[in-house]
Chain A
Amino acid sequence: MRTRLTLLAVTWLAVRTATAAEPPPVRLIVKPLLCVVDKAAESCNVKFDIRWKSVLPGEYCLNDEAVPAPLRCWPRTLSGELQHQREVSEDFIFWLSPPAGTERAAEVKVEVLRVGSDDRRRERRTRHVWDVL
């Protein structure tokens, strides 16, 4: 009984490790992923470096959440890249999908961090000894 349990555990671990090590079918890499906006500015102008790689050749379109049509579609291939410049004022998602499909093969979220506030109270500095940040 004990041997069977050990064997079962080892098998489960082996399967789990193999599954975890398996690369995703399509990988989307976007840089940068963060835009820091001071309160004096409404947005930041970012030049995105977008790359994708696929284990199997495929047709993919790159989409921007803020735009209804794809930014670019690639013919059947293993990888693609695009440099894309745009104003960013809120969080949004880039994703890859088949030309005719709606499912997302891979997606990446670009975040906007607003530093500062229109509420001056949130900008006040305390003068406590322990306040260092």
Chain B
Amino acid sequence: MNIPRLQHLLAMAVLWSLAHSTYAQTEAPSTPATTDASLPAPAAVTRPTRPLPAERNWRFGIGVGYGMRTNPLVQSDDIPVLVDLDIAWFGKRWFFDNFDLGFQLADTRLFTANAVARVNSDRVFFGKTNIRYVNFTLAADGNKVPITRPAPPPGRPDNGFASADQPQELKVPDRDYAIEMGLEMLFGGEWGQATLRGFHDVSQTHEGFEISADYSYRWTLGRFSVSPSVGLAFKSDDLSNYYWGVNPKEAGLTLQPYEAKGGVDWEAGLRTSYYLTKSVRLAISADYERLHDSVASSPIVAEDHVLGYFAGAAWQF
């Protein structure tokens, strides 16, 4: 991972000073419990008025169950999700939300604005790739045509194919994690929750940016809660090409050079919960993300989408 440039550090400093000048903290409303109970005699109807307890700074949860997120890369394994940790801390301005580090710049009746540093999660797919060996032979038209086969088991001699050429390694190129910084605007009301985000690489990894928007709405009926969501994300040329392109140095007989262009991914998801107790719930969730065409056409991409699902029990401590 590269060291951030000086101008990025300056940008962070400007953002910091801006935060100090524009921040407007609003106190969380303390809703008194003033509901009355209609009681038969001999009870007198009086209810104590108590403010709601303050929310804890820490949020720690764990989900245990079975889930999977598909890996769109060629020669890759899907990502199993058996345990999902939820670790977050919310201070007056600073917060840490599952590896997103944020600072609240403004909190008004209409929106909340945060400066956030995060790790780009596209890199995760590149941690679950395999190597395959491909043999080439000459076709009638003179071009080399790959004869594919799985890699031999470890310790076993590779003597299955008769080919004049040496087997070529088909390997998805390595990619680095990128640290991104940006702004997000959170909106919320009876109509649901919406988010606008803009992030730029500050680690000189892909040097691109992403702009995204999403919307979700939660229905709660008794102990059951369901929350559908939709979202769009524009990924720049640099970001798309770094992760999903094949640069000339990486190209060979098994991988052709490819330049991925920017484009818009879209996603839709559904999260459901059934609360057993105050801290335990059964959870089922699924989401689908469609990669934009230029990424989907890359020689290192086998599927044009990412599908994720999970079912299990979740504890909130």
Q: Interface of A with B (CB < 8 Å)?
A: 32-34, 36-38, 40, 42-43, 64, 66-73, 84-90, 111-133
Contact pattern, B 77-102, Cβ under 8 Å of A = 1, otherwise 0: 00101001010101000010111101
* A129-B69 in contact (CB<8A): yes
Given A66-B48, A71-B43: A133 touches B271 (CB 8 Å cut-off): yes
Smallest CB gap from A41: residue in B: B220
Q: Are B79 and A121 neighbours in the complex by a CB distance under 8 Å?
A: no
**Contact at A124–B195, with CB atoms within 8 Å?**
yes
Q: Is the CB of B104 within 8 A of A121?
A: yes
Known contacts being A123-B186, A125-B216, A126-B97, is A66 close to B47, with CB within 8 Å?
Answer: yes
Give the Cβ gap from B201 to chain A, nearest Cβ, in Å. Answer: 15
Cα of A129 to Cα of B121 in the assembled complex, Å: 6
Interface residue ranges, B against A (CB under 8 Å): 28-29, 31, 33, 35-40, 42-48, 50, 52, 55, 59, 61, 63, 67, 69, 79, 81, 84, 86, 88, 90, 95, 97-100, 102, 104, 107, 111-112, 114, 118-119, 121, 124-125, 184, 186-188, 190, 193, 195, 212, 214, 216, 218, 220, 222-223, 225, 229, 231, 233, 271, 275-278, 283, 285, 287, 306, 308-310, 314
A40 to B31, CA, bound (A): 12
- Which residues from chain A contact B233 at a C-beta distance below 8 Å? 127
Given A69-B44, A111-B277, A132-B308, residue A121 in contact with residue B95 (CB < 8 A): yes
Chain A positions within 8 Å of B216 at CB level:
125
With A66-B47, A119-B90, A130-B124 already in contact, the answer to whether A71 and B39 are too (CB < 8 A) is yes
Per the bound structure, the CA–CA distance linking A91 and B212 in Å amounts to: 39
Which residues of B sit under 8 angstroms from A72, Cβ to Cβ?
40, 43
A122 touches B55 (CB 8 A): yes
Inter-subunit contact B43/A69 (CB<8 Å): yes
How far does the Cβ of A94 sit from chain B's closest Cβ, in whole Å?
12
CB neighbours (8 Å) of A66 from chain B are 37, 47-48
- Bound: A124/B113 CA distance, A: 11
Q: Given A34-B223, A121-B186: A126 and B37 within 8 A (CB)?
A: no
Contact indicator B63/A133 (Cβ below 8 Å): yes
Residue of A nearest to B98 (CB): A126
Which chain B residue lies CB-closest to A122?
A: B90
**B59 proximity list for chain A (CB < 8 A):** 122
Q: Which residues of chain A come closer than 8 Å to B38, judged between CB atoms?
A: 85-86
Quote the shortest CB–CB distance from B101 to chain A (angstroms).
12
Instruction: Quote the shortest CB–CB distance from A83 to chain B (angstroms).
Output: 11
Return A88 CB to nearest CB of chain B, in Å.
Answer: 8
Whether the pair B97, A117 counts as a contact (CB closer than 8 A) is no
**From B124, B188, B222, B306, contact of A120 by CB (8 A):** B188
**Does A38 lie within 8 Å of B223, measured CB to CB?**
no
A90 contacts across to B, CB distance below 8 A = 33, 50, 52
Contact A118 B28 (CB under 8 A): yes
Q: Is the CB of A132 within 8 A of B69?
A: yes
Q: Nearest-CB distance from B46 to chain A (Å)?
A: 6
B186 nearest in chain A by CB position: A120
